[in-house]
Every structure is written in C-alpha cells, then in structure tokens.
C-alpha cells in the first residue's frame, strides 16, 4: 500500500465518548480535574487541590512545559444541569510543594499525584458551589493554563537588563485582598530567577498562613521585601496612608522607571495605582503606567482621556467610530467598549467575564486603532489580537469576526 493518508479506524472522539461513560475522569483529548482536597487559607479564601487527568498532563507538558506563575484555568462546572464557566488563578508552580500542606494527614499516594491548586473567594454561584457544596472526587472540565500575567509578559514590556549594572529589572507586586492568588507562584518564580521583588498586599483581614509564607521567602531570599497593609490597622500603613499613594510608592526606593509592576485587586486599588503612577515624574518619554500589567477581579477601567484618572463610563465623551466584522459582513457604531457597542446594536460577540480576565472575547483586529480602557495603552493600526470587552475604537476598526 502506498504511503499517504491513513484513515483513523476508531476516532479518538468516539473513544472519549465511550470512556467518559465508563469513568468521567478518563479522556484522551479533554483536560479534566478531580477534586481531592480543600484548604482554608482565611475567612474568605479557600484553596482547592485537584488531581489532573492524562490529557491535562500531556498537553500541558507538550505545549507549555508546565504552567507559568500568574496563569489561570477556565473551569466548566455543572450546577443543577446547567454548565457555567469561570476563571480561577493557579496557586504555585508545577511540581512545587504548597506551604500549607499537612503531610501527616495526606497519604503517600496523594503526594505523588500530578496536581494543580486554585484559590477561590467564596462569592457567587460557582465559587460557593466549588468551595462549599461540590463533593470530593467530583470531576470538572478545564482549559489548559492561560493568561499573560507572567514573567514572560514582563520581559516583553521592559528590557530585562539594565544597561548600567546588568542586573535583572526589579519587580513590584501590588495586590488587594484575594488579588494575591495569581501572585503566589509568580513571586516564587521571580525570586528563583534572581529578580529583586517587592510586595504590597492590602487586605481587610489578616492572612496568617500567607504571612508565614512571605517570611519564609524573606529568610531565603535577601532581595525579597514585603509590606502587608491591614487597612484597619494604622501601624501597618505605608508612608502613613491607608491606601496606595504617591508617597507610598516613592517610599519603596525603587528605580520606578525600570520597575515592572504587577497589579491585581479591586476597582479602588487599581484606580489608586494608576492615579499615583500618573503623578510620578519619570525621565523623558517614559510613563510609569506603561510598566503596569493588570490581572483584575473588578472593572477598574482607566478613563480614555490621557490626562484623566477617573473610572471609564458612558458620561466620558468618546468620538463615535465604526466597527466592521469582516467575516459576518456586519458593522455597527461604537462610542464605548466594542463588546458593549455590539450588544447595543444587537450583534452577538463571544464573551465571558466582561472584565478582561477570561479571554473568551479575544479576537483578531485586522486594521484600526483601539485603546485598552484598563491600561490606557493605544494599539497599532495593524493586525493583532485584542479583547473586545476592554477596548474602545479610536478609529474605524475591522475585526476578523
């Protein structure tokens, strides 16, 4: 028989279908997770530890070589017969022990499992179900690790070497409440790579288990400095202020022009960070806000006006432009985010969280200029990937949709 196309006698999809009926965790192609443990980190933060199936292990290893600190998973959870999809940050790094583990209560077999852990604030339908109701050994479908809240993104934003002393750029992590979760693995990875790391964590509650973790890292890495700001305790305030401020940032004595900032938290925290960044003067042609990478759990959207630091809303005047959907041969006018404008015109676009987190709205822009209302960054006018829920059209825009 001549070499060439050889049809698959038994389709992998059919094998998966039969296998899922025999055991819901088994699949050749679909990444799945099985819940094996819960850990209480604080009154409002629960960690869930999952065993990963063979498809997750193989695809993560082959495509990515493991996951990066700061990435997240999209979980598909069935509640009362309805599937819901939500995004949750991965805690720690692949093959890295978790500091809160009580090895005396876990079997040797469990220690050897390939696992992944996420941290959740119990709020909303899906989070409450995962943290309080879903039985142990339950199986959920998952994406592979996703997201650009990583050290690789930091290297893309800044030249990773300072010309004067050839040291790695310092990193500043600013978190509010449960916004610390994507940073748990990212900080460890940065320290392992030799970065000077500073952490500011603002919280209304005391996270004793996390305090122990930061102190351990501080003992191991001299270049790690952390500030835990308990917003109800004035003795913990930075530069005498309860919230993030210009004085607080300057008191860190960091070379801010060369410092990459990772931020995750509430609307107020992110708005305060951008406001402080706008008030700090850097060398010519540099703006501190360009050094900020955001992974937010809120809708803190920077005003589309470069000179303002208010929250973006419809009261801010935005020039109307036309958005063309090339594949659908549709168009609509937009004076707000592209996703909102499409919905106002009865055009359905893919979306999820509406906050720039889940990436489900991401599509390819063929031409035109857009502006990210979270970071204030203006795109080029050529082909690139954008998120419609957090970008507004600054010119007429063509999307490959």
Residue 1 is encoded by which pair of tokens?
């028989």
The answer to whether residue 18 scores a pLDDT higher than 90 is no
β-pairing verdict for 45-52 and 32-42: antiparallel
pTM for this model (two decimals): 0.70
**Listed residue (340, 341, 362) closest to 350, CA to CA:** 362
Strand positions, DSSP E, 92-215 = 115-120, 139-142, 171-176, 197-203
Separation of alpha carbons 273 and 113, rounded Å = 40
Distances (CA, A) of 98 to 15, 91, 92, 102, 274: 35, 8, 7, 9, 33
Residue 398 and residue 331 in contact, taking contact as beta carbons nearer than 8 Å: no
Q: Who has greater pLDDT, 279 or 13?
A: 279
Q: Which residues contact 142 (CB under 8 A, 6 or more apart)?
A: 31, 32, 33, 56, 73, 74, 75, 76
Q: What is the pLDDT of residue 11?
A: 57
Tokens for 196, please give them: 């000077």
**Are residues 212 and 99 in contact, defined by beta-carbon separation less than 8 angstroms?**
yes
Across the beta sheet with 260-264, the strand order is: 224-230, 197-203, 171-176, 260-264, 292-294
What pLDDT was estimated at residue 174? Answer: 95
Q: How confident is the model at residue 369 (pLDDT cuts 50, 70, 90)?
A: very high
Between these two residues, 61 and 173, which has the higher pLDDT value?
173
Helix axes 208-220, 183-192, angle to 10 degrees: 10
* CATH 2.40.30.10 domain range(s) in the chain: 12-142
Count CA atoms closer than 13 A to 375's CA, side-chain side.
24
Of the listed ranges 56-70, 148-162, 170-184, 346-360, the one predicted with least confidence = 148-162
pLDDT at 319 (0 to 100): 80
* pLDDT value of position 332: 93
Helices (H), 326-401: 338-344
pLDDT at res. 165: 42
At residue 294, the pLDDT reads: 86
Topology of 321-399 in CATH? Answer: Ubiquitin-like (UB roll) (3.10.20)
Task: Identify the band that residue 156 occupies on the pLDDT scale cut at 50, 70 and 90.
Answer: low
Q: Residue 158: pLDDT above 70? A: no
Q: How big is the chain by its Cα radius of gyration, in Å?
A: 23
Greater pLDDT, 348 or 28: 348
pLDDT average, residue stretch 165-181: 82
Weakest-pLDDT range from 157-171, 172-186, 263-277: 157-171
The residue among 209, 208, 147, 201 whose CA lies nearest residue 178 is 201
- Does residue 1 register a pLDDT over 60? no
- 355 vs 276 pLDDT, higher one: 276
pLDDT tens per residue, range 285-323:
788 888 888 875 443 444 434 333 334 443 345 688 999
pLDDT cut 70: percent of the chain above it: 79
β-strand pairing of 362-367 with 384-387: antiparallel
pLDDT in tens, 83-141: 888 888 898 887 777 766 544 444 444 444 588 899 888 888 889 999 999 999 999 99
328 is written with which tokens?
């659908």
Q: Which CATH architecture has domain 151-294?
A: 3-Layer(aba) Sandwich (3.40)
pLDDT (0 to 100) of residue 109: 41
* Residue 177: strand, helix, or coil: helix
User: In the chain, which segments carry CATH 3.10.20.30?
Assistant: 321-399
Q: What string of DSSP letters covers 34-52?
A: EEEEEEEEETTEEEEEEEE
Q: What is the mean pLDDT of residues 14-26?
A: 62
Residues of each domain in the chain carrying CATH 3.40.50.80: 151-294
The encoded tokens of residue 6 equal 């050889």
For the domain 12-142, what is the CATH superfamily, name and number? Translation factors (2.40.30.10)
Nearest residue to 400 (alpha-carbon basis) of 359, 370, 364, 361: 364
pLDDT in tens, 204-226: 877 777 788 888 899 999 999 99
Task: Note the pLDDT of residue 2.
Answer: 53
Residue 35 predicted with pLDDT over 70: yes
Which of 299, 244, 248 lies closest to 275, judged by CA? 244
Q: What is the mean pLDDT of residues 258-263?
A: 92
């Amino acid at each position: 028989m001549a070499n060439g196309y050889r049809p698959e006698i038994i389709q992998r999809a059919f094998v998966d279908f039969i296998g899922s009926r025999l055991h819901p965790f088994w699949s050749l192609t679909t990444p799945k997770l099985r819940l094996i443990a819960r850990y209480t980190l604080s009154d409002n933060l629960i960690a869930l530890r999952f065993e990963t199936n063979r498809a997750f292990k193989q695809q993560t290893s082959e495509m990515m070589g493991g996951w990066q600190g700061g990435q997240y998973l999209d979980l598909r959870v069935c509640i009362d017969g309805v599937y819901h999809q939500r995004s949750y940050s991965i805690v720690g790094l692949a093959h890295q022990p978790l500091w809160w583990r009580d090895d005396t209560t876990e079997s040797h077999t469990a220690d050897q499992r390939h696992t992944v852990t996420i941290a959740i604030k119990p709020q909303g339908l899906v989070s409450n179900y995962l943290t309080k109701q879903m039985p142990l050994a339950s199986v959920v479908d998952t994406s592979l690790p996703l997201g650009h809240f990583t050290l690789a993104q930091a290297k893309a934003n800044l030249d990773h070497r300072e010309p004067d002393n050839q040291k790695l750029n310092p990193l500043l992590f600013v978190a509010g409440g449960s916004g610390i979760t994507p940073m748990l693995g990212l900080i460890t990875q940065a320290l392992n790579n030799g970065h000077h790391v500073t952490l500011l964590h603002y919280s209304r509650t005391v996270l004793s288990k996390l305090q122990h973790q930061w102190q351990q890292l501080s003992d191991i890495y001299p270049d790690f400095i952390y500030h835990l700001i308990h917003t109800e305790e004035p003795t913990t305030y930075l530069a005498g202020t309860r919230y993030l401020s210009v004085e607080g940032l300057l008191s860190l004595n960091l070379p801010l022009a060369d410092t990459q900032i990772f931020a995750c938290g509430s609307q107020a925290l992110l708005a305060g960070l951008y406001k402080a960044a706008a008030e700090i003067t850097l060398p010519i042609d540099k703006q501190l806000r360009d050094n900020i990478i955001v992974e937010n759990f809120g809708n803190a959207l920077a005003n589309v006006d470069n000179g303002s630091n208010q929250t973006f809303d419809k009261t801010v005047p935005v020039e109307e432009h036309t958005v063309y959907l090339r594949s659908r041969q549709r168009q609509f006018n937009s004076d707000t985010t592209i996703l909102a404008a499409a919905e106002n015109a009865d055009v359905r676009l893919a979306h999820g969280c509406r906050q720039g987190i889940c990436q489900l709205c991401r599509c390819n822009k063929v031409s035109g200029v857009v502006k990210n209302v979270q970071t204030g960054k203006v795109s080029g006018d050529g082909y690139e990937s954008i998120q419609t829920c957090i970008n507004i059209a600054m010119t007429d825009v063509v999307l490959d949709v």
